[in-house]
């Protein structure tokens, strides 16, 4: 069997293959953060396409932590019903379901005050955030914990903490955006403190698989390094994180030149350096490329993004290319 279509175990959860739909913002909720008919069609279609694990887009744990006013929310119990319907629809086609819990930090574009570790705007096009007080930090940790409880009630199989792309947690991790002089700034340990506390808070109410998405390179001289993330990933493993979803960039404005697989070396370095499973992402669009990454033990799961917006049935084409057999939904047998 090809490795791409081999099952993968995340704690007690068995993924039917190693294809993961990465979180991608759809900006299709109303200002109340509730699931809409678009979400029900969008995610169920990818599940019918036989993706092993589908991670919902960044879902805000507080209203002021939305990337946009049209983001999904999980800050209130009213969100549970719609999320539960999404889970039911995806699981009907054999997909495992996950949700990415997020706080946008200084990259939030909603009205009112926004918050960050330090009062530094991302760019001239963004508002200057308020520097978070210790009480603000405590409130955010509690919000992540409460969101995990709601995710459990909605029936998700997997949780992912969004610690990447210049949103709140990655702002704390990076010395380029964290200029604090208290226990949350300065040293590696201090910059990691918020993520440590968020993981501990979630683990107090969530026993299932837990992933963390990171930006393993800031592409900036004063930013984080790969060595930082090997250390951070060792700490994550000791706290019960099951897999690190390895992306890069977005923390500060930078000149990035992407190419197929350009982020895979970061996933490989963290996997080997921290002895923790990783997910590879970044312009992986061809089945043979995905198979090479897995066969050479460079990562454990393949996270696909925009290619799944173009090809929701990508696993079917990949299986044909690799000579693997997958089971279609019964309704589609005649076509597959």
- Mean pLDDT to the nearest integer, 118-131: 96
Model confidence over 36-85: pLDDT tens digits? 999 999 999 999 999 999 999 999 999 999 999 999 999 999 999 999 99
Contacts for 95 with CB less than 8 Å, ≥ 6 apart: 46, 47, 50, 51, 52, 53, 54
pLDDT the model gives residue 255: 84
Model confidence over 211-258: pLDDT tens digits? 999 999 999 889 998 999 999 999 999 999 999 999 999 999 888 888
pLDDT the model gives residue 221: 86
Average pLDDT, the chain: 97
Q: pLDDT-derived band of residue 17, with 50, 70 and 90 as boundaries?
A: very high
Show the tokens assigned to 318.
Answer: 């990949």
Domain 3-322 is of which CATH architecture?
Answer: Alpha-Beta Barrel (3.20)
Helices and strands in the chain, H and E counts? 10, 12
- Mean pLDDT to the nearest integer, 267-278: 98
pLDDT the model gives residue 324: 95
Show the tokens assigned to 102.
Answer: 């997020």
Query: Percent of the chain beyond pLDDT 70?
Result: 100
Is pTM beyond 0.95? Reply is: yes
Contact (CB, 8 A) for 68 and 107: no
Residue 134 above 80 pLDDT? yes
Model confidence over 73-119: pLDDT tens digits? 999 999 999 999 999 999 999 999 999 999 999 999 999 999 999 99
Q: Which of 126, 118, 128, 194 is nearest to 161 (CA)?
A: 194
Q: How many CB atoms lie within 10 A of CB 11?
A: 13
- How many Å apart are CA 215 and CA 187, to the nearest integer? 18
Model confidence over 150-185: pLDDT tens digits? 999 999 999 999 999 999 999 999 999 999 999 999
- Judging by DSSP bridges, how do beta strands 210-215 and 243-247 pair with one another? parallel
String of DSSP letters for 114-126: -EESSS--SSTTS
- Mean pLDDT to the nearest integer, 136-151: 98
């Amino acid at each position: 069997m090809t490795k791409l279509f081999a099952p993968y175990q995340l704690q007690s959860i068995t993924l039917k293959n190693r294809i993961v739909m990465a979180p991608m913002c759809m900006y299709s909720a109303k200002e109340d953060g509730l699931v809409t008919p678009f979400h029900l069609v969008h995610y169920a279609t990818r599940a019918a396409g036989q993706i092993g694990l589908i991670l919902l887009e960044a879902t805000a744990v507080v209203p002021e932590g939305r990337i946009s006013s049209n983001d999904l929310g999980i800050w209130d119990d009213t969100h549970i019903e719609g999320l539960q319907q999404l889970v039911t629809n995806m699981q009907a086609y054999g997909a495992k379901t996950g949700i990415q819990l997020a706080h946008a930090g200084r990259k939030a574009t909603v009205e009112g005050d926004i918050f960050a570790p330090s009062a530094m705007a991302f760019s001239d096009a963004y508002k200057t955030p308020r520097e978070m007080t210790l009480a603000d930090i405590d409130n955010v940790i509690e919000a992540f914990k409460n969101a995990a409880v709601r995710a459990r009630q909605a029936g998700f199989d997997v949780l992912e903490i969004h610690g990447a792309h210049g949103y709140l947690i990655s702002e704390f991790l990076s010395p380029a955006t964290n200029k604090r002089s208290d226990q949350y700034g300065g040293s590696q340990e201090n910059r990691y403190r918020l993520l440590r506390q968020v993981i501990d808070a979630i683990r107090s109410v969530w026993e299932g698989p837990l992933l963390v998405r990171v930006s393993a390179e800031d592409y900036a001289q004063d930013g984080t390094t790969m060595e930082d993330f090997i250390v951070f990933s060792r700490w994550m493993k000791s706290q019960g994180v099951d897999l690190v979803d390895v992306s890069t960039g977005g923390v500060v404005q930078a000149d990035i030149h992407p190419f197929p697989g350009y982020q895979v070396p970061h996933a490989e370095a963290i996997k080997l350096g921290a002895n923790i499973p990783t997910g590879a992402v970044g312009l992986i669009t061809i089945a043979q490329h995905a198979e090479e990454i897995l066969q050479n033990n460079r990562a454990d799961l393949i996270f696909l993004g925009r290619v799944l917006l173009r090809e929701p049935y990508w696993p079917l084409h990949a299986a044909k290319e690799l000579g693997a057999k997958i089971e279609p939904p019964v309704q589609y047998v005649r076509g597959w």
